[in-house]
């Protein structure tokens, strides 16, 4: 399955089109508009945060908006048209946002990355524990570090793979660092976390019934 070139934004997805259709037929247009704004905000933040997946792990597979759009398009292709027409606004919004945020646990902030080398931090302790859970890679790293002919690039790649391992096994519990997220967006004040946007979905006028699925 190949995503068509015309599919260039989350707003081109079947789920977003369904949200737009519901603006004209659902009980509260204001609630649908608020939900679409939340979806747009989450997608924008996700694209910015995802850039850090390869910031510290350059050898890792690319996880940018192209990847998110591929996932979102495939999701739309898998949903039958009859099912799509019965979906609640919240279900449409969650499908879009899940396609955009599913890999963000692999995006490390500069602060998180530097904490891995600080023995006083919990991040460093988790990093050391992850090494123990990946003994083969650890042995490979030890061989490289003990070999006079081993290049710094090869050693750095092995160390990077350990960081990837750490991110993958703790993909769910991790959250992007708030301060670093704000700096990435180049804005002052607090960023808009995904959790706050989700909460706003049912706080908008007339939107309480969205959660009564």
User: How far is 206 from 113, CA to CA, in rounded Å?
Assistant: 43
41 neighbors 198 (Cβ within 8 angstroms): no
Q: Residue 52 above 70 pLDDT?
A: yes
Is residue 161 located within the same domain as residue 64?
A: no
User: How far is 153 from 171, CA to CA, in rounded Å?
Assistant: 26
Which candidate, 27, 93, 103, places its Cα nearest to that of 64? 103
Which residues neighbour 186 within 8 Å (Cβ) at sequence distance 6 or greater?
A: none
Q: Three-class SS of residue 188?
A: coil
Is residue 41 located within the same domain as residue 99?
A: yes
Phi first, then psi: give them for residue 60, nearest 5 degrees: -80, 155
Residue 206's pLDDT band (cuts 50, 70, 90): very low
Is residue 73 located within the same domain as residue 146?
A: no
Does 138 reside within a domain? yes
pTM, to two decimals: 0.67
24 neighbors 89 (Cβ within 8 angstroms): no
Q: How high does pLDDT run on average in the chain? A: 73
Rg (CA), the chain: 21
Residue 209's pLDDT band (cuts 50, 70, 90): very low
Lowest-confidence segment of 65-74, 81-90, 147-156 by average pLDDT? 147-156
Is residue 50 located within the same domain as residue 149?
A: no
Estimate the crossing angle of helix 89-101 against helix 14-25, to 10 degrees. 150
pLDDT digits (tens, 9 = 90+) for 127-143: 777 666 666 666 656 65
User: How far is 137 from 156, CA to CA, in rounded Å?
Assistant: 12
Q: Which two tokens stand for residue 63?
A: 């996880």
Residue 204's pLDDT band (cuts 50, 70, 90): very low
Does 68 reside within a domain? yes
Give the chain's domain count: 2
Is residue 84 located within the same domain as residue 38?
A: yes
**Domain with 54 in it:** 10-107+181-211
Is residue 147 located within the same domain as residue 59?
A: no
Q: What is the mean pLDDT of residues 34-60?
A: 83
pLDDT (0 to 100) of residue 139: 64
Is residue 188 located within the same domain as residue 154?
A: no
Residue 212's pLDDT band (cuts 50, 70, 90): very low
Is residue 45 located within the same domain as residue 69?
A: yes
Residue 160 neighbours by CB distance under 10 Å: 15
User: How far is 49 from 25, CA to CA, in rounded Å?
Assistant: 35
Does 5 reside within a domain? no
Q: Residue 24 above 60 pLDDT?
A: yes
Q: Which two tokens stand for residue 66?
A: 């192209």
Is residue 53 located within the same domain as residue 88?
A: yes
């Amino acid at each position: 399955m190949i995503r068509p070139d015309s599919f260039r934004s989350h707003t081109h997805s079947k789920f977003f089109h369904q949200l737009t259709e519901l603006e004209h037929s659902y009980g509260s247009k204001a609630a649908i508009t608020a939900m679409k704004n939340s979806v747009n905000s989450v997608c924008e933040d996700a694209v910015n945060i995802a850039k850090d997946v390869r910031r510290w792990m350059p050898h890792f597979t690319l996880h940018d908006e192209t990847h998110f759009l591929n996932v979102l398009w495939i999701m739309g292709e898998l949903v039958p048209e009859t099912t799509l027409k019965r979906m609640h606004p919240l279900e449409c919004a969650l499908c879009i946002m899940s396609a955009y945020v599913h890999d963000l646990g692999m995006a490390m902030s500069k602060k998180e990355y530097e904490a891995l080398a600080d023995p006083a931090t919990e991040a460093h302790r988790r990093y050391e524990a992850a090494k123990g859970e990946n003994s083969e890679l650890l042995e490979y790293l030890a061989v490289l570090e003990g070999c006079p002919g081993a290049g710094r690039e090869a050693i750095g790649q092995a160390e990077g793979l350990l960081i990837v391992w750490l991110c993958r096994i703790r993909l769910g519990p991790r959250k992007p660092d708030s301060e670093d997220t704000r700096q990435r967006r180049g804005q002052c004040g607090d960023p808009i976390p995904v959790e706050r946007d989700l909460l706003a979905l049912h706080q908008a006028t007339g939107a309480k019934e969205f959660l009564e699925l």
